[in-house]
Amino acid sequence: MPGRPPPLLVALVWGSALALSPAPAPAQAPAPARAPGGIGRLPLPFVLREGAGGDPRTSIGQPEVSAKRSAGEESSIQELLGPSGDPGGIRARLDAAGIRYSLTYISGVLGNVTGGARRGAIYQGLLDGQLDADLGPLLGWSGAAFHANAYQIHGRGLQRSYLRSLAAVSGNETLPATRLFEAWIEQRLFDDRLGIRLGQLAADTEFIVSQTATLFINGTFGWPDIAGANLPSGGPAYPLATPGIRAKIEPNRNLSVQVGLYDGDPAGPAVPAGSLDPARLNRNGTNFRFHDPPLAIAEAAYAYNLDPSTWGGFILGEPGTVTLGAWHHFGRFDDLRRDAAGLPLASPLGTGVPRRLRGEDGIYAMIDQTLFREPGRDQGLSAFVRLMGSPGSASLLDLYLDAGFAYRGLLPGRPRDTAGIAVTYQRISDAARRADRDAIALTGQPQPVRDFEAVIEATYQIVAAAGLTVQPHVQYFVRPGGGIANPIFPGAGRMKNALVFGVSTAIRY
């Protein structure tokens, strides 16, 4: 922690004080019009808003503000500031010209109180500046839009300094830097049913996205660790976007199909392999690599019950989204266990140089489901389940599962707050586990055999005011790093389970 409190801690304290008083209730939805026999169509304002990843919102538990790149955010502290929120009316004039900008500051105080590599606490912060332009009124280019955003990242990371887990405690953790993230142009065609996006892209803003999971602080609930661990430089995901193209077709309100093709290594290879952090290799997000073997990812999502019926005041069928997807990387990857001659890498008779394997694949399925909605209110309970697999001798993780619940408006007088609990399980692949056993048998050196890592997170997002949230959370790590030996104190044996407490604050203008 720095010697004097960061300025955003003042906002954190202020937000916590505001949280002690009931928040003003939002405008209530009108009563449903009843058809004969008690059946009627229920007006659901939340499905008319954008969900995480750009699809229709089907999770009533989607939080109002999120640090996840895929989340749609609407509120701003401009509403709090009144006339002074837009000095000189500049923002209004830009908006009339089709230009919108936003500034979001996300801060976190995180502490590991037991287990992991060692105990300690950190402060981290991220300023996200975004610019969006409708090129129709601006340039007369019908159906086209431009988007760019950049980060100023500062502070330390708890995962890197104290935990050494597979899952990042915070989705914002990376090396301090000022960096470009995305910069693209999108052309909408055929009455907006087809969108083609070209430029510097990140897959985690649109693919493998759970609307409910955007509530949670841990990074794996955004871009799952199985993709980050198995793809070069973590894949095209925060903090590294890469040149690419994405096509998305929406033939109707319920169905969307999208395909993305990206440069397959947003940072570039380190020499020797693994010697440098990808964020250090591409420090400012401007490497713009075009010559690496590509990564292709495809996904289909179907949203159902967007207009549920009611019977005697009860809702018949809540909205949900089911998603299926897969990726394939066209590059070559190191076998985790064998050399080119087929001998174990740990064998003194082998070369110690991994054999090269062609391609890396993954598949996934997930569901976001509203389970209960309080009548006439944008409040209720949602759940998500996400299952992923990435078999192969080059995969560090071969199985991933996460699931959780989020309830918006759980506490009386707090209609916009969201509470949640989620768990993730990721299994070390068979090839990696066999490599650990080979090393023990062939070298005689005792070491743990990695098996899995699991994380449980409980959190509560307080909407202290429009555009301002305060979010305490607790995370428990089972077998950090998959059960590796403590890298800081090797004599201490396998790292112990870790308990992390934290408070995150987000301010959006």
Taking residues 468-479, report their average pLDDT: 97
Write the pLDDT tens digit of every residue in 192-250.
999 999 999 999 999 999 999 999 999 999 999 999 999 999 999 999 999 999 999 99
Smallest Cα–Cα separation from 469: which of 478, 477, 460?
460
For 97-159, strand residue ranges (E) read 99-116, 120-134, 144-155
Write the pLDDT tens digit of every residue in 392-418.
899 999 999 999 999 999 999 999 999
Q: How would residue 482 be classed by pLDDT, with cut points 50, 70 and 90?
A: very high
pLDDT surpassing 80 at residue 26: no
Residues 6+ apart with CB under 8 A from 271: none
At 271, list the tokens: 């020499």
pLDDT surpassing 70 at residue 480: yes
Which pLDDT belongs to residue 444? 84
Q: How would residue 7 be classed by pLDDT, with cut points 50, 70 and 90?
A: very low
Residues 6+ apart with CB under 8 A from 178: 150, 151, 152, 153, 284
Taking residues 456-463, report their average pLDDT: 97
pLDDT surpassing 50 at residue 451: yes
Whole-model pTM?
0.87
pLDDT surpassing 70 at residue 31: no
**Are 490 and 450 a contacting pair, CB within 8 Å?**
no
pLDDT surpassing 80 at residue 251: yes
Ordered domains of the chain (ranges, CATH) = 7-24+42-508 (2.40.160.180)
Name the least confident of 93-97, 288-292, 308-312. Answer: 308-312
Q: How would residue 441 be classed by pLDDT, with cut points 50, 70 and 90?
A: very high
